[in-house]
Amino acid sequence: MDVSGPIRPFQDAIPDVSVLVPARNEEASLGACLQSLVTQTGVEYEVIVIDDGSSDRTREIAESFAGVQVIPAGPLPPGWTGKNNALVAGASVARGEWLLFTDADTVHLPGSLARALAEARHGKADLLSYSPEQLVRSFAERVVMPVVFAELAMEYPPAKVRDQNSEIVAANGQYMLVRRAAYDAAGGHAAVAGEILEDVALAKAFRRSGLLVYFRYGGDAVRARMYRNWSQLRDGWTKNLALLFPRPRRRAAMLVAWWLLMWITLPIPLLGLALFVRIHRAHFGRWNTRIAITFGPPVFAYLLLRSQRAHAGGTVRWKGRTYPGVAAESFSRNWQLGTEN
């Protein structure tokens, strides 16, 4: 393991930022993530990895980086998700004025931590969240990921999320930089302990508390590869999709109808061009956009309906754990701030 670079252990100095990385069986990606974190410059920070009961080399990899603190997540309380439990454990030992919650599948560009902190301070943001550039390698990733993120951008436009008077609020848990005092005031991850979409739930808690949430595409700061094969992709989006999109059946039917009409009207390419533009805006490049247009909409529809069935059935499985499902209709009714009980 290459751990060269300006590693900064901060045993004595109080850091500006505590970087918290929850990790459960992340041996494939954790090394690259930590290498990109320990070589950040321009800011005082500490890195804390929370090992969430891993059975692979996750802890060994984390401990191979000098200056990185590795702690156990501890027992999972009833009703909590593993990630929330891990992040609460990390926050309990973090010493920074700011907390960066980031996933083990991310890679952080040089100097991005200092730039993000400056952006949050300049904009007086209590929660700054970036949507990373999504890296895709396998055919399944190229088919599905551009469509998912294009649909997310349509459903939750970053400009509306940034409008503090908007009823739409969101965040991406792959990169959330929060002011520690604001995090505590909003109740932290303990306040959303049972939420599968803890990032969105935390952003909602901030907005309800009158705290400023700022969200944008952050490909200039961070990259991520969420899933590495079809099995991971299928299970991950089954866990999340029905919670992200109101009226899943309607959305699936409309997208597939649009896709079919595009093929039927190939001599008149307006629908194909419109779909290309819609997906291309999700920052996946022209080649991946073409693959996604050709194959993606029906696969997205399948995953969306699969997610709805899983939640309606009452159980969702992820990384060896089973969580209670959430009826998609109920979640979508509560999505906007003004309608939450």
* DSSP codes, 10-21: -SSSPPSEEEEE
CA distance 332 to 308: 12
pLDDT-derived band at 339, boundaries 50, 70, 90: very low
**Amino acid identity of 6?**
P
76-108 CB burial, b ≥16 within 10 A, e <16: eeeebbbbbbbbbbbbeebebebbbbbbbbbbb
CA distance 151 to 149: 5
Report yes or no: 59 and 51 within 8 Å, Cβ to Cβ.
yes
Q: Which two tokens stand for residue 32?
A: 């690259």
pLDDT-derived band at 257, boundaries 50, 70, 90: very high
Q: What is the pLDDT of residues 275-315, one digit of tens each?
A: 888 898 899 999 999 999 999 999 999 999 999 999 999 88
Q: Would the pTM count as exceeding 0.85?
A: yes
Q: What is the pLDDT of residues 186-198, one digit of tens each?
A: 999 999 999 999 9
Residue 213's Cα: distance from chain center in Å?
15
pLDDT at 12: 62
Identify the weakest region by mean pLDDT among 74-88, 109-123, 151-165, 183-197.
Answer: 151-165
pLDDT at 78: 93
Report yes or no: 192 and 203 within 8 Å, Cβ to Cβ.
no
Report yes or no: 216 and 299 within 8 Å, Cβ to Cβ.
no
Of residues 95, 114, 107, 100, the one with CA closest to residue 175? 100
pLDDT at 304: 97
Residue with tokens 């307006």: 270
Residues linked to residue 50 through DSSP beta bridges, in sequence order: 22, 71
Q: Which domains does the chain have, with CATH numbers?
A: 17-132+172-224 (3.90.550.10), 230-332 (no CATH)
Q: What mean pLDDT do residues 225-247 have?
A: 94
C-alpha distance from residue 260 to each of 36, 231, 282 (Å)? 43, 26, 21
Question: At 318, is the secondary structure helix, strand, or coil?
Answer: strand
pLDDT for 29 beyond 50: yes
CA distance 249 to 290: 25
Question: At 269, is the secondary structure helix, strand, or coil?
Answer: coil
**Amino acid identity of 187?**
G
